[in-house]
Structure 1
Amino acid sequence: MATAALRSQVQAKWNEGFTRLNRTEPGISGLMSYTEAWNVAQEYLRPRNIGVANSIQGASPETTHGEPELDESVDISQVKTAFDLINRSRRLPVMLEVFLDAVADNFHMVVVDIQRYLAQYQVDRDPETILQLVFRLVEWYRTWAPIEELGPTIRTAYTLTFQTRLFSALPAEFLGGFKALCASSLVKPSPHTAQMWASFETLGMADRYEGIVATVGYERIEHYIHETYAKKWDGQILPDLRKWMSTNIVPWMLPMYAKGASSTDDARSMLANVGARFDFHMNKTLCDLRTSEIFDIIVDYPDSEGALKDLRECLQRVDQRATLVQALRRANHKRLLHPGADTKIILQQYVATIKCLRIVDPPGVLLFKVADPIRRYLRERPDTIRSIVANLVGDDDGGDSLVDENDQPVPLQQQDADNFNDPNWDPEPVDAGPEFRTNKPSDVISTLVSIYDSKDLFVKELQVLLAQRLLAIKEEDNTAKVDKERRTIEILKIRFGEAAMQVCEVMLKDMSDSKRIDTHIQSQKPSIVHPTIISRNFWPALESSDIIMPGQFQELQKAYAKEYTVSKPDKKLRWLPHLGTVHLELELRDRKVDVDVPPLEAAFIELFSQKNVWTMEELIAGVGSVDRTAALKALITWIDLGVLKEDQENVFRLLEVEEESGPAPSRSVPMAVEEPALTAAQQQHADQMRLYWNFIEGMLTNLGPMSLDKIQSMLRLAPNYDQSIDQLAGFMAAASRSGRVTSKDGLWMLNA
């Protein structure tokens, strides 16, 4: 049973509530007017069903903005009076709670529309359907929204409730459609784009789905960069790319990120942060693209210099230096550092890597990290020194030079410690390794020579190569080519020092003396023999041979040696008959053959002046001890010229009358499946070309399509390669018939 105190407390609360609702009105008239005001307000706020008349086609976008149209039967002044009375009665929170509960209870009507539009989208996959759904949702929102005159409290509470219910009702498939809608507005803006962004803002989608909107912009940037600039390295693209961003991406960003901007400066200020994010992503995308292409960019240098400058700028914005190093090292290991790549190609790529990475990273940290595996691999190759030296002296075998002819020759640079007194001194980069200081980049030649610990190896190889080049000079080219070699030695003196080049100076002097001695002997007794006379003690050891030149060649040698002894009684000549070149004019029954050949080929054909048919054993015995393989190569030369024919294995006949069929094509077709039995000479040729196919396959794999001349110049670097370009052409044609290669526009490429 209630106590007196409890009854008193309840009575006080009742009186207080009655007074608040009745106010100072007489009797219960105030309570009655409050009840009427409550009914008016509740009827006004009641969520209404806007119907399905425009559900799929959607309402016109223009009707979804601004205040909803009021029912003409509603007296807005009466509504405002009712809300004012409820507010003065301190019952507005209760009224708001009832209203929000009604919104929640009736939100199923909105869900029905959502499901209807999304079902249509699953059928047509048209982003326009999602746009109409957004407009429809805005129509629901504005129809149920209280007018602004009722104050921000009711409006804010309603907006929060509506958005909460909306986002909980939107299924997962809506996100895909929303992203497609944003993407379509970026690629091809529609007349409703501005209304679309305003609707996103009204519904709270702009903030909730900001990540999706940003992703759309990022993906558009990625697609444009990959579609437009992949494998295009001939110029810098960052300026054009930023111009494209300002023309296409920034206008699309304005409604989203610069809403409410009153001036250009305001918009620029509001876009600063998000613009920086988009610019960062643009740099990252371009950096990723160029990193994936870095090996081919280096191959294409210097035509790809613009791409390297872009990469340098991107790396200053995006910290992906380690990624670039790893990508280039992987590409080098896969495409360069393997037995199928020629040493000259590896050196060319290494030099191009040096030049390219100095553009990307002038301090040289990236070069130091990338070059180490290349340098270690080159040290293991037996012909690395020779390839570098061949370039130093100006190799005539063709191919791209490792050294720029415009570079001024400078002494080989030694690695010096840092000079901290230098006013231009800079500390090492933060990602430099502990050994970086001793490997700072210098000129290209110094970098190549530093692959080895000592330059003496290069000096010795220089002497050997110079000797070979001097001995290969023909009599008619003696003066001009010796002068050229002398200029080369003067340049090498700058690089290696005069002391290291003393032996080379002696060799050049021998060449001049040889020319003078030969001129004197020719004046005493003319001879068709023009030997190069060298001093034995200063030239590198030359390979020896037991070849004995037969017939007239031996007589010519004896006659010349006799005249030399007359001129220099204290000296005598020791002939090296396997070196040099012989110019021959063969008079056959129906033709003449004019050709320059090595001495062994000349010795063999001289024997055929005695009789027309010789066996291999007889020919070898006729010129002294000679390797059978070398003999076969020499005889192949005359078979290719149509002078000799191998009637049966190891039996060769002189063709006084040229045969119409010419040389058997099977020698140049070692890859064909069905071939007649090969003779010994043909088999020798086929075995050689099979060996060179490994080099050709490696070149086409790593360097892509190549012309026949380029393949020939590269093959000249292979050991003992001596095939003519016509022989190579026949071999490549055979490889094409066997399905290994194809030719298009003069370029050979491997079949996939």
Structure 2
Amino acid sequence: MLSNILLYNQNVNESSFIEAYLPPGLPSMEEIIEYCEKYPRLLTLRDSPLKDLQDPLVSIHVIHDWYTTLASKYFQSQSTKVFDNWQQDLQASNTDDERFDLLLKTVDRLYSVYDRVHLALSMPWTEASPMTDPELKRLLKTAFDQIVISRIPHSFYLLNNRYASTIYMQHFEWPEDAATTGDPDVVLPALPCTNQYPYQGAQLTWILTQRLDDDLPELVQGPTMTDDQLDVQVAHVMRGCTNMDVDTGGGSDAIGTRSRHSLTLLSSHDSLEESGAMSPPSKFAEYCQKANTVKLAPQWKSLAEEWLHRQINHGPLADDWTEYILASELRRMQLTILPWLSHILTVSPTNTERSPWHEFLRAKIQLEHSLYAIFYESRCNSIFDILMTNYPSACPVFEDLKTIESIIQPPKSLKKSVKESLDARLLYRGASATDIIQQYLGCIRYLKVFDPTCQTLLAIQQQVESYMITYRKDTIEGVVEMIRNRDEYDLNENSDSPYVFSDSEVDDSLAIPMDEISQLERLQRKCHDLLAMLISLCGSIPQFIEGYQTQLAQALLMNVDYDTLPEEETLEILKTHFPENTLFACEIMLKDMTESKRLDTQIHEANNSTSDFLHGIIMSRHYWPEAYRESAKEDFDKLSLLPSVEEYGQEFSNLKGGNRKLEWLPEYGSVTLELEFENRTQEWTVKPPAAIVIRLFEKCPTLSMKQIMTATNFDAETTMESLNFWYKCQVLTLDVEGFYTIVEN
């Protein structure tokens, strides 16, 4: 019949022709299914109702279109019934068990619809029959997917994923403490479904815990490897499996490994034989096999990523920066989620288009990459807190991140995360320069671990230096303070091979513009010397030297016993970083202290009447900072703070010759004084202005700043500095009206 109709309608489109002119004698899909179930051999007889499907005069496309049309109508009617029943039965369900049973029955019904339509394709047709053409199977699959997916209610997707999640939680997930106890006797609560895999037991465990995307050709991506490429990678991995005792030992270089763990994974089929009944995981595998056939499998990737995100961000190791957490989390995923996934990806034994084993391996790599991305993002979100961890405690985090960057390209770089976190939480006016610099040192140390090439560190260096040079006036003071107290800030690293600043760096007039490559090369040499990195924060080497010379002068003038050994050690270290004679003035200052000690001893020995409370520091005028070359002696003389200095000066002239005289600078140096209170006595060594200010309170316990300035003739800056000193020492208090008062009598 079909051939006759075709002969008279050659100019008509075949697909529309079949739709419009189906001959009345052809059977319906229900009749075809019944014939296939009851009389499969009738289909090949000469008087078979479907004999026209083997007519060589009928185009194969016509037959395929006709059968697909019948199947589509059958799919539509049957799927509508199935989902109508679904909605009614779901409303009547009261418990999760009832709902899950309904889910399994619904998928079973849809699978039955799909399977019955395919019965005709599996009948004993002749080899040349259009019904045996693989293209027909593809057309039916496409039609079924389009029709069924368009009819699936949202409640089905939700329950489908909840069922898969419940199976994982109840039968695959480890106890909360399994990843932290390191117990070698921990046994997985569920087994992978291996009946379609070429490896089982300990061999499969070995493959689960190894990377399959290592050493790939440049253009090959792990999740998209072909079956042949995967076979090559598995063979390579299996060469490392020397015994059936799975060794998962290792450190940060062995991703997915941990302490030695003897574990044999059997197939779920083996466990069925032992129990005599279908276990929940096996029942789940059978369900997924049917669900995969009708394209209704749970959304495993989104579910797995949700679990990974929860475990990494909220699990017991979420805030642990001191251990190699990536290996632990990867191992956990490989031995829990992957066995669960092996059930999800099972397919019908009649499905020869897909290889479950290779699909599973690709999914394994895909989930591992998801874990890397989630872990990387998690640590980037906490990167500031990690950087604030005392070095080297958090080094495992940066080694884990470095490992991840060698495998995948994260959506957000660590460099960007560090820059954003520093801008938000460190580089602002409220933070002291010392705090900023100290945290910057932590960044340097950790980023060298993460990126030895210093490309990441270069961006951070430019960011911090730009801020400190442009917006902070206390940078040089903070840098010098930390260098002078280098033991406290652990700045003695790499002291055997210091970075030496070039002439162009020391002399601003010789500065040479540098491109990014040159800056990177310089940083690669400099980053191993933290002291040099701090000096660079000052922007200009001459400004750093000036700042260091000023603080050195302050420290020397406050020195009551001429002990310069700590300052000499610091200066010797600094000299190794600069060309010769760069710090010559500082050397002269230290020599002045040594000479002053010698002369002071001689003066007191030569004249016993010289006050024991007076000791002089004799400075070489042209080598000390300019601020210390002028005197306001008349202001200090009228306050009678200093003991008689004439005899001291006369003895100096006697020792050095009659033409050599001392010019006293009473506002500099230090004064050691003792304050007596009602119940205690305390000694301080202070600057002369501070001593003069506190002496005023001896007669008047309450004074304003203006009154003090009038009495001392000090400027506002000097007066405020002195008052703040005694306020911080809790000797003075300040009221709301601006008056300072002695705390105790």
Task: Say whether the fold is shared (TM-score over 0.5).
Answer: yes
Distance 1:591 1:165 in 2: 95
Which of 385, 403, 410 lines up with 1:313 in the alignment? 403
* Corresponding letter in the other structure for 2:300: V
- The alignment partner of 2:673 has SS state of strand
Matching residue of 2:587: 505
Q: Answer yes or no: is the 8 Å Cα contact 2:469–2:539 preserved in 1.
A: no
Call closer, same or farther: CA 1:555–1:365 in 2, change over 3 Å: closer
Q: Answer yes or no: is the 8 Å Cα contact 1:325–1:369 preserved in 2.
A: yes
* Corresponding letter in the other structure for 1:244: R
Which of 276, 291, 307 lines up with 1:220 in the alignment? 307
Which of 173, 176, 182 lines up with 2:164 in the alignment? 182
Count matched residues: 565
Q: Answer yes or no: is the 8 Å Cα contact 2:468–2:538 preserved in 1.
A: no
Q: Answer yes or no: is the 8 Å Cα contact 1:582–1:602 preserved in 2.
A: yes
Distance 1:561 1:257 in 2: 98
CA RMSD for the aligned pairs? 4.7
Q: Could you give the per-residue CA deviations for residues 303-341 of structure 1, whole angstroms, max 9, x where no partner exists?
A: 221111111111222223864333322222222232222
- The alignment partner of 1:584 has SS state of strand
Equivalent residue runs for 1:582-601 within 5 Å: 582-585=671-674, 593-598=681-686, 599-601=688-690
Please tell me whether residue 390 in structure 1 is matched to residue 481 in structure 2.
yes
Please tell me whether residue 575 in structure 1 is matched to residue 664 in structure 2.
yes
| TM-score, scaled relative to structure 2 | 0.64
Q: Answer yes or no: is the 8 Å Cα contact 2:387–2:442 preserved in 1.
A: yes
Which of 627, 642, 657 lines up with 1:542 in the alignment? 627
Which of 498, 502, 520 lines up with 1:410 in the alignment? 498
Q: Answer yes or no: is the 8 Å Cα contact 1:583–1:596 preserved in 2.
A: yes
- Residue 277 (structure 1) shift: 0.9
Distance 1:316 1:305 in 2: 17
Matching residue of 2:153: 171
Please tell me whether residue 325 in structure 1 is matched to residue 444 in structure 2.
no
Q: Could you give the per-residue CA deviations for residues 437-496 of structure 1, whole angstroms, max 9, x where no partner exists?
A: 565432333344445665333233322222222222122xx3xx4122222222122111
Distance 2:324 2:641 in 1: 65
| TM-score, scaled relative to structure 1 | 0.64
Please tell me whether residue 472 in structure 1 is matched to residue 472 in structure 2.
no
- The alignment partner of 2:622 has SS state of coil
Q: Answer yes or no: is the 8 Å Cα contact 2:377–2:412 preserved in 1.
A: no
Call closer, same or farther: CA 1:438–1:274 in 2, change over 3 Å: same
* Corresponding letter in the other structure for 1:115: Q
Unaligned runs of 5+ in 2: 9-24, 54-62, 126-130, 173-278, 350-354, 505-514
Q: Answer yes or no: is the 8 Å Cα contact 1:298–1:353 preserved in 2.
A: yes
Matching residue of 2:87: 115
Taking only the aligned residue pairs, the percentage that are identical comes to 21
Q: Could you give the per-residue CA deviations for residues 499-549 of structure 1, whole angstroms, max 9, x where no partner exists?
A: 112222211111111111111122123432122222222212234434325
Matching residue of 1:562: 650
* Corresponding letter in the other structure for 2:302: T
* Corresponding letter in the other structure for 1:135: K
* Corresponding letter in the other structure for 1:388: V
Distance 2:78 2:728 in 1: 98
Q: Answer yes or no: is the 8 Å Cα contact 1:633–1:681 preserved in 2.
A: no
Distance 1:378 1:406 in 2: 25
Distance 2:575 2:700 in 1: 54
Please tell me whether residue 199 in structure 1 is matched to residue 287 in structure 2.
yes
Q: Answer yes or no: is the 8 Å Cα contact 1:550–1:606 preserved in 2.
A: no
* Corresponding letter in the other structure for 1:217: A
Q: Could you give the per-residue CA deviations for residues 38-85 of structure 1, whole angstroms, max 9, x where no partner exists?
A: 99x9598299xxxxxxxxxxxxxxxxxxxxxxxxxxxx9x74565564
Please tell me whether residue 522 in structure 1 is matched to residue 597 in structure 2.
no
Which of 546, 568, 581 lines up with 1:486 in the alignment? 568
Distance 1:614 1:239 in 2: 67
- The alignment partner of 1:596 has SS state of strand
Q: Answer yes or no: is the 8 Å Cα contact 1:258–1:267 preserved in 2.
A: yes
Equivalent residue runs for 1:347-362 within 5 Å: 347-362=437-452
Unaligned runs of 5+ in 1: 1-8, 14-34, 48-75, 417-431, 643-662, 671-676, 686-725, 728-752
Larger deviation: 548-557 or 139-148?
A: 139-148
Q: Could you give the per-residue CA deviations for residues 410-451 of structure 1, whole angstroms, max 9, x where no partner exists?
A: 1425599xxxxxxxxxxxxxxx96665565432333344445
Call closer, same or farther: CA 1:206–1:415 in 2, change over 3 Å: farther
Call closer, same or farther: CA 1:219–1:131 in 2, change over 3 Å: farther
Q: Answer yes or no: is the 8 Å Cα contact 2:284–2:343 preserved in 1.
A: no
Matching residue of 1:455: 541
- Residue 638 (structure 1) shift: 7.5
Equivalent residue runs for 1:210-359 within 5 Å: 212-228=299-315, 229-257=317-345, 269-302=358-391, 303-320=393-410, 323-359=413-449
Call closer, same or farther: CA 1:195–1:560 in 2, change over 3 Å: same
Distance 1:304 1:604 in 2: 49
Distance 1:509 1:516 in 2: 11
* Corresponding letter in the other structure for 1:45: E
* Corresponding letter in the other structure for 1:221: L
Distance 2:411 2:519 in 1: 16
Matching residue of 1:45: 34
- Residue 137 (structure 1) shift: 3.9
Call closer, same or farther: CA 1:573–1:178 in 2, change over 3 Å: same
Equivalent residue runs for 1:588-667 within 5 Å: 593-598=681-686, 599-603=688-692, 625-627=713-715, 630-631=718-719, 634=722, 667=733
Matching residue of 1:134: 104
Distance 1:601 1:330 in 2: 43
Larger deviation: 226-235 or 216-225?
A: 226-235
Distance 1:633 1:338 in 2: 25
- The alignment partner of 2:473 has SS state of coil
Rg comparison, structure with higher value: 1
Call closer, same or farther: CA 1:548–1:509 in 2, change over 3 Å: same
Matching residue of 1:425: none
Larger deviation: 514-523 or 320-329?
A: 320-329
Matching residue of 1:66: none
Call closer, same or farther: CA 1:681–1:545 in 2, change over 3 Å: farther
- Residue 188 (structure 1) shift: 2.4
